[in-house]
Amino acid sequence: MKAAVIEQQGGVENIAYRDWEDPEPGEHDVIISVRACGLNHLDIFVRRGMPGFPVPMPFISGGDISGVVEKTGPAVSGWSEGDRVTLNPQTDEGMIGEELLGGLAEKVRVPAKNLVALPDHVSFETAAAVPINYGTAHRMLFTRGRLEAGETMLVLGASGGVGLACVQFGQMVGATVIAAAGSDDKCGRLSDMGADHVINYQSEDFSRAAWIASGKKGCDVVVNFTGGETWAPSFRAAKKRGRVLTCGATAGHDPQTDLRYLWVRELDVLGSNSYSQEDVARSVEYVADGQLSPVVSHTFPLENLAEAETLMEDRGFFGKIVLQP
């Protein structure tokens, strides 16, 4: 098969589109013929290298996978060749695309119990935008954050995959959504999608703008998975006894925190890691019945992975970047 292979960690020049040995299923595995694979910041981190988290090279990343069952292991039941599927990339053996070989290839081996059926009317490209982004957002907002109808939520980084998922989940449950992004164009698109308020955090103080947008009451929920310089101002946007949620740190993992806001406003800071099979399956159901509409920003052939990752690093996208073998 062909695959986009990270030969060694570093820049995009270390990605090679080349032959790779076809995978074979274990007893409880299936082989997926990959039709689409969504790109995530995690793929960038795997390629660049993450301190304290060695990845054996050469390696194939990619966890947001959709495709067709091509082959099943001898102990697999309930799945057949030709079934349309997506999947939960968090397996008992590790994360597909981070610890196990991923889907930026023509084929990938996956435990059968991680599969999620994909209805015929949901495209492979749309499905590749769902598992990690919407699964992560679903767990963070509802399992950890307890978001409810009538609450006000600020989403930082709202134009990316997880951010857009948070915006759409907020709209779905009847929350007031304040969406913050880094350009007027992205803010305009978020407004067109139905965000109640939009903030360009490059040109205005997002914490002050969110405070005003909330009627100077503050936000019940603040979603910040960017970290870096945005972390400390996030606390100023939260109301008393509000919740600050995080599931990552795309702009820096070691930011300053102003503890005065934490104790004076009695804020809850809640971390959320990964997602469950149920988070992914429910997200697919919401997409299938039209309650969620994932946005695919760009589609690239698999051999152009270096170009796609450069676009992600430059933040020149809105929604999801998808690769097709």
Return the SS3 of 44. Answer: helix
Say what the pLDDT of residue 304 is. Answer: 98
Domains and CATH numbers, the chain: 2-129+295-324 (3.90.180.10), 133-271 (3.90.180.10)
pLDDT band with cut points at 50, 70 and 90 for residue 52: confident
CA separation, residue 252 to residues 114, 135, 202, 277 (Å): 31, 22, 17, 28
The pTM score is 0.93
Q: Which residues pair with 270 in a beta bridge?
A: 245
Residue 84 sits at φ, ψ, to 5 deg, of: -85, 130
The more confidently predicted of residues 253 and 222 is 222
pLDDT interval class at 119 (50, 70, 90): very high
User: What pLDDT, in 10s, does the model give residues 296-325?
Assistant: 999 999 999 999 999 999 988 888 999 999
- Is 284 in contact with 258 (CB distance < 8 Å)? no
For residue 248, pLDDT over 90 is answered with: no
In this structure, the number of other CB atoms found within 10 A of the CB of residue 304 comes to 17
